Amino acid sequence: MTQTESSSLHEKMMKRGGLRAELRAANALSIKQWRVEFSYPLSVLYFIVMPFLWFLPMLLAGTAVAGSPTSSVFGTYTGTTDWVTYIAIGSAFSGLAMSLFWGTGMAFRREQNVGTLETLMTTPIRRDTIVWGTMLHNVQHGGLGVILQLIFSVLFFGATLNLWGVFPALGIVVLAVIGMQGIVFALTCIVLLAKQGWMIIEVVSEVFLIIAPISYPIVVLPPILQYVSLASPLTWSVDAFRSFLMYGFLAPGIIQAVAALLIIDILFIVVGSLLFKYTERYVRAQGALSQF
Amino acid sequence: MQTRESLRSADEEREELENGYLTDFQPRMMDWNASRIFAVKNIRIAIRYPTNVLIWGLLPILWLAPYLLMMTAVAGPGTSEYFSEVSGFSDFLQFAVIGWFIFKYIDASIWSIGNNFRWEQFSGTLEPLFVTPVPRISILLGAAFSDTVQTTISAFILLFTAMALFGVSYTLVAVGPIIVIMLLMIIAFYGFGFMLAGMILVFKDPSVLTELINNAVFTVSPITYPLQVLPAPARFAAYLIPSTIAIVVIRDLAIIGTYDLFLFLQSIALMCGILIFFWAVGIGVFNYGEKWTKERGSMGGF
Amino acid sequence: MNKIAVEIQDLSKTFISVKKKAVIIPVEKTRVDALKSITLDIPKGQIYGLLGPNGAGKTTLIKCLATLVLPTSGTARVHGYDVLKESTYARASMGVCQGNERSIYWKLTARENIIFFAKLYRMPQNEAKERADELLGQMGLLEKADIKTEELSHGMRMKIVFARALIHDPPVLLLDEPTQGLDPTFATDLRQYIRNSLKSKTILLTTHYMHEADLLCDKIALINEGEIKSFGSPQELKEDVRDYDSIHIKTKGDPDLGLIREIDGVMSANSTTRNGYSELVVTAKDGYDLAHHVLNLIHQDQSARVEHFEIKEPSLDDVFLKLTGRRIED
C-alpha cells in the first residue's frame, strides 16, 4: 500500500461525517446485533414462540372470567366488547416496548460485558448513535414480534383487525419509538451509573407497562395511577395504535392521542438526550467506563 | 535442602493423611455434608444482599397485577358468574393471590436451582467446585436448599403485600396440611431443578431456555385462572408439574379451610409419586448433561 | 503544517472513589492521582513508548487521549484536534488498540468484525469489504476470515484487534500493551509489523516489556505514579545509569552481605531469595575490576556456593530501578 493511497483513505473518512455517517453506523450496529443473536440457535426459537407465550396466559385469564370472547362490562369501559382483539393488539405492542426497554436500555451493559464498549467509544461515531443503532435493531426485532403476534392472534385466537389502519398504525409506531427512546436514554443512564441497574430497569419498565392500557383500559387503575398514566408516551401510543388497527383511518379520539403523543415525545426525547449526554460525560470523568 | 528428617516426617504425614482421609474416602452418591456446607455458603452470601430478597418478593406483583386488572376490566370488579361456575370460587383476587405465593417456588426452581452452576460460572468459582471430590448433585442440592430459604422469605413478602394491596385474606385452620403439601412440592421441585440444571449444561444458552420453560410452566399452571379453562392436553401437561396439585389443594385449604380427607391423602400419594419421578428424571438428566459436557470438553465455555 | 502529531500539555487525572454505606451515605473518600501534570509532545512519524509498572498511569494516559476518560485538567491534541473540544475529529484521527482480545465481537467472523467497525468509520459497504480483505491479507488471516472469532487462537484474535485499529488508516496510533499475553512468535510478528509497515505513523505505545520498548521506540518516557520520571531515547536513558555496573551472582546458601559491602568500591549489595537460591546484586563503578574480589569472598565463606555469575550492563529496568526504587515487572 502506498503512502498516497493510505492518506486518502483517512482524508476520505474525515470528509464524510454528518447524518449519513451516523445512519450508516446505526445500521451497522443493528446488523451486528442480528448476527450476534442468530449465533444462539435457541434465541431464534424463542423469538417465534414468544408471542404465544405472552399472550396465552392473558387470554386464559380473560376466558376464566368472561367465558366468551365478548364482554359487556368491557364494552362499558372501552367502547368495544371484543376484549380478545383489544388485549391481542395491546400485548403485541408491549412486546415492542419490552424489546426497546430491555434490548436498548441494556445495550451499554451488554457491550461492556463482552468487552467491546470502549472500542465502540473510540470510533468517531456520536455516543448516542450507539443507543440509536441498538434501538434500530430492537425496532426491527420487536416490530417483527408485533407482526408475528398479530398474525397468530388473527389466525388462532379470533382477533379481528381493520387493514385500513395498518399504515397510520405504523406512523404511531414511529411516534411511539421517539418517546420510548427518551425513556431508553434515561434507562441507559441508570445502567451507566448503577451496578445493579437491571433491577431498576425491570421496575421502571414494568411500571410503564402496568400504567399503560395494554390489556385493560386505564380506568381500572387506582385514580392516582390514571393521572400518571396520561404522562407516559406508552399510554397514548398503545391506544392510538390499537384504535387504528381496530377502527381503521377514522378511529375515534385519534387526533387528541396524536397531539398528546407529539408533545410528550418532544419532552421525553429532549430530557432523555440531555440526561444521557451529561451522564456519559460524568462516567468518563469518573473513568468508570470499563468497570461500571 | 530437604533433610532426611524432613523427608521422613513428610512420609509420616502422608501416611497419617491416608489413614485419616484417603483410605476412608469412598465415592458417594450423595454427600450431605457438602450440601450443607454449600447451602450455608450461599445463605451467607445472600445475607450480604438483603435487598435482593425484598425485591424478589415485590417484583412479581408488577408481573402479576396486570392479570388481575385485565380480569377486572373484562368481568367487573372481584367476581363473575362464569368464574364461580368454572373454578368453584367466588373471588378471583383471592383465588389468584395464593397462586402467586406458590408461583414464587415455581419461579425459584426454574431460575435459581436450574441456573445455579451458571451463577457460579459467572463468579469464576465453577471449575474449582467441579474439581472437588464431591458429587455435583450434592452441590446442587445444597444450592437448592439455600434457594428455598430465600424463596420462602420472598414468597411471604409477596403474599402479605399482595393481601394488603388487593384486600384479600385467608384462613389458617388447615396450616398443618398446607405445610405438608408445601414440603412435598418443594422437594419435588428439587428434582425438577436438577433436570433443568442438566439441560442448561447441554444447551448453554440458559436465559432463553429458562425463559421458555418458565413461560410454558406459568401458562399451564392454575395460578391466576383455574385449570378448567385449559384445553384437555394442556391440563394433562399441567399435572406433570410438581406444583399443580399443590396449588389446587393449598388454595382449597387456605380459602375454605377444609379438604376431603380421602382426596387429601390421594393428593399426598400423587405428590409422592411426582416427587420420586422428578428426582429420578432430574438426577438422570443432570448426570447425562454432565457426561455430555465432559465428553465435549465444553465445561469451561458453557 | 504542524510537525507535532500528539501534544499533551499539563494533563492531570485524579480519581476520587467514594466508599458508600447504605447505598448513598458517603463514608470514605479516596483520591488517586493517576496522572500528575504530564507534558509530552510526539513529532510526526515517531514511535514513543510509555514504560512503567502496572498502575503507573500508562493506560489512563492512553484513555485520556482516546476520549474514554476525561482529564481533570490540562489539554491534549491528537493530529491537531483537541480531545475535549473536537473529540469526534480526534477519534477519527487515531486508531486505538487496547491489548484486549475481548475488544472485538467473538460471535462475528474476522471479516464481519472489520466490516462492522469500518462502517463506524464512515465507510460504505463495498469500501469496507475491500479494506477488510486488505487488512486481513496484511495480517495473514485471509484464510481464517470467515471463521467465528471465538474459534480462533488468542494470537489471531489479537491480530484482528490490531487490524481493527488500522481500519481508517489513522495518522496516529495508540497501542496499549499490544503484545501482552501473546506467544513469542505472534509478538515478534506484531513488533516487526509495527517497525516495518507503520513507518509513517505516529505511535504512542505502552508496554511493560523493556525489550519491546528498546526495540520499537524512538523515545521512551519512564512513567511511575502518574509522573514522567525520565525521558529520552533508549540509549540516552541507559547512558544515564552507565555510571555503574551490576554483578549478578546466584548462590546456594546465603552469602554474608556485610562482608561484601565492606569491599572497597562496592556501591551497594542486596540479595533476594528465589526458588531456594540467593540472587545477589552488587553494584560498582567498574564491575569487571571488582568481580573477583566478591567471588573470592563468597568462596571463602563456607555457607554459600556460587552457581551462576554475570556482569550486566544497564537495562531499562535498571534505569527504572534507579529512578523509582521499584522494578517495572513487579
Domain range list for chain A = 18-286
Q: Is A291 a residue whose pLDDT tops 80?
A: no
Taking an 8 Å cut-off on Cβ atoms, the answer to whether C70 and A281 are in contact is yes
Within a domain: B16: no
Model confidence, pTM: 0.81
Residue A196 or B99, more confident: B99
Element (H, E) at C98: strand C94-98
Mutate to test the interface with C, among A123, A125, A130, A278 (most CBs of C within 10 A): A123
- Banded model confidence at residue A137, pLDDT cuts 50, 70, 90: very high
pLDDT at position A261 is 94
Structural domains present in chain C: 4-239 (3.40.50.300), 244-312 (3.30.70.260)
DSSP letters, chain A, are --HHHHHHHHHHHHHH-HHHHHHHHHHHHHHHHHHHHHTSHHHHHHHHHHHHHHHHHHHHHHHHHHSSS--HHHHHHHS-S-HHHHHHHHHHHHHHHHIIIIIIHTHHHHHHHHT-HHHHHTSSS-HHHHHHHHHHHHHHHHHHHHHHHHHHHHHHH-----GGGHHHHHHHHHHHHHHHHHHHHHHHHHHHH-TTHHHHHHHHHHHHHHTS-SSS-GGGS-HHHHHHHHT-HHHHHHHHHHHHHHH-TT-TTHHHHHHHHHHHHHHHHHHHHHHHHHHHHHHHHHT-TTT-
Rg of chain B on CA atoms, in Å: 23
Rounded to whole angstroms, the Cα distance separating A49 from A245 reads 23
Q: Subunits that touch chain A (at least 3 Cβ pairs < 8 angstroms)?
A: B, C
Mutate to test the interface with C, among A35, A112, A119 (most CBs of C within 10 A): A119
- Name the 3-class secondary structure at C261: helix
Taking an 8 Å cut-off on Cβ atoms, the answer to whether B66 and A77 are in contact is no
Residues with Cβ within 8 Å of residue C41, at least 6 apart in sequence: C4, C6, C7, C8
Q: How far is A237 from chain B (nearest CA, A)?
A: 18
pLDDT at position C165 is 92
Q: Among C311, C24, C43, C61, which Cα is nearest to C203's? A: C43
- Measured between CA atoms, the residue of chain A closest to residue C60 is A287
DSSP letters, chain B, are ---HHHHHHHHHHHHHHIIIIITT----S--HHHHHHHHHHHHHHHHH-HHHHHHHHHHHHHHHHHHHHHHHHHH-SS--HHHHHHHS-S-HHHHHHHHHHHHHHHHHIIIIIHHHHHHHHHTT-HHHHHTSSS-HHHHHHHHHHHHHHHHHHHHHHHHHHHHHHHT-----TTHHHHHHHHHHHHHHHHHHHHHHHHHHHHH--HHHHHHHHHHHHHHHS-SSS-GGGS-HHHHHHHTTSTHHHHHHHHHHHHHTS---HHHHHHHHHHHHHHHHHHHHHHHHHHHHHHHHHHHHT-TTT-
Within a domain: B10: no
Q: What is the pLDDT of residues A183-192, one digit of tens each?
A: 999 999 988 8
Rounded to whole angstroms, the Cα distance separating C79 from C90 reads 7
Q: What mean pLDDT is predicted for residues A251-273?
A: 92
Q: Chain A residues contacting C, CB < 8 Å? A: 1, 3, 6-7, 9-10, 13-14, 16-17, 21, 24-25, 27-29, 31-32, 35-36, 39, 114-116, 118-126, 281, 284-287, 289-290
Instruction: Look at strands C202-207 and C172-176 and give their pairing.
Output: parallel
Mutate to test the interface with C, among A8, A11, A13 (most CBs of C within 10 A): A13
- Measured between CA atoms, the residue of chain C closest to residue A130 is C120
- A195 neighbors B51 (Cβ within 8 angstroms): no
pLDDT at position C254 is 82
Which chain B residues contact residue A209 at CB under 8 A? 66
pLDDT at position C297 is 82
Does A73 contact B at CB distance below 8 Å? yes
- Banded model confidence at residue A171, pLDDT cuts 50, 70, 90: very high
Q: Is A160 a residue whose pLDDT tops 70?
A: yes
pLDDT at position C267 is 81
pLDDT at position C40 is 94
Q: What is the pLDDT of residues B158-208, one digit of tens each?
A: 999 999 988 888 988 888 899 999 999 999 999 988 888 888 878 766 677
Rounded to whole angstroms, the Cα distance separating B54 from B48 reads 13
pLDDT at position B29 is 67
pLDDT at position B23 is 57
Rounded to whole angstroms, the Cα distance separating B133 from B70 reads 53
Residues with Cβ within 8 Å of residue A98, at least 6 apart in sequence: A142, A205, A209
pLDDT at position B64 is 86
pLDDT at position B6 is 47
pLDDT at position B4 is 45
Q: Which value does ipTM take for this structure?
A: 0.84
Taking an 8 Å cut-off on Cβ atoms, the answer to whether A36 and C108 are in contact is yes
Q: Which residue has the cell 492512553?
A: C62
Among the partner-chain residues A56, A71, A210, the one whose CB lies closest to the CB of B65 is A210
Within a domain: B222: yes
Kindly state the DSSP code that residue C68 receives in the 8-state scheme. Answer: S
Using alpha carbons only, give the angle B224, B230, B236 rounded to the nearest 5 degrees.
110
Instruction: Look at strands C4-21 and C73-78 and give their pairing.
Output: antiparallel
The total number of structural domains that make up chain B: 1
Q: How far is A70 from chain C (nearest CA, A)?
A: 48
Q: Among A151, A181, A157, A179, which Cα is nearest to A245's? A: A151
Say how many C-beta atoms besides its own lie within 10 A of residue A255's C-beta.
10
Average pLDDT value over all residues in chain A: 87
- Banded model confidence at residue A3, pLDDT cuts 50, 70, 90: very low
Residues of chain B with confidence (pLDDT) below 70: 1-29, 122-124, 204-206, 297-302
Taking an 8 Å cut-off on Cβ atoms, the answer to whether A24 and C69 are in contact is no
Q: Among A102, A89, A83, A32, which Cα is nearest to A241's? A: A89
Among the partner-chain residues C98, C115, C169, the one whose CB lies closest to the CB of A10 is C169
Taking an 8 Å cut-off on Cβ atoms, the answer to whether A21 and C68 are in contact is no
Q: What is the pLDDT along chain C (330 residues), one digit of tens a residue?
A: 568 999 999 999 998 877 665 555 666 778 888 899 999 999 999 999 998 888 888 989 999 999 888 999 999 999 999 999 998 899 999 999 988 888 899 889 999 999 999 999 988 999 999 999 999 998 889 999 999 998 999 889 999 999 999 999 999 999 998 888 788 888 888 898 998 888 889 999 998 788 888 889 999 998 888 999 889 998 888 777 667 778 888 888 888 888 888 888 888 888 888 888 888 888 887 777 788 888 888 888 777 888 888 887 777 777 777 777 777 665
Which chain C residues contact residue A115 at CB under 8 A? 100, 102-103
Which chain A residues contact residue C72 at CB under 8 A? 285
pLDDT at position B3 is 43
Within a domain: B22: no
pLDDT at position A240 is 93
Does B49 contact A at CB distance below 8 Å? no
- B195 neighbors B278 (Cβ within 8 angstroms): yes
Mutate to test the interface with B, among A56, A65, A196 (most CBs of B within 10 A): A65
Among the partner-chain residues B80, B92, B216, the one whose CB lies closest to the CB of A53 is B216
Range of the domain at B205: 28-296
Q: What mean pLDDT is predicted for residues A89-118?
A: 88
Cross-strand pairs, B155: none
Sheet of C4-21: strand order equals C25-43, C4-21, C73-78, C81-82
- C96 neighbors C174 (Cβ within 8 angstroms): yes
- Measured between CA atoms, the residue of chain B closest to residue A216 is B70
Sheet of C227-232: strand order equals C94-98, C172-176, C202-207, C47-51, C219-224, C227-232
HSE of B28, CA atoms in CB hemisphere, 13 A? 14
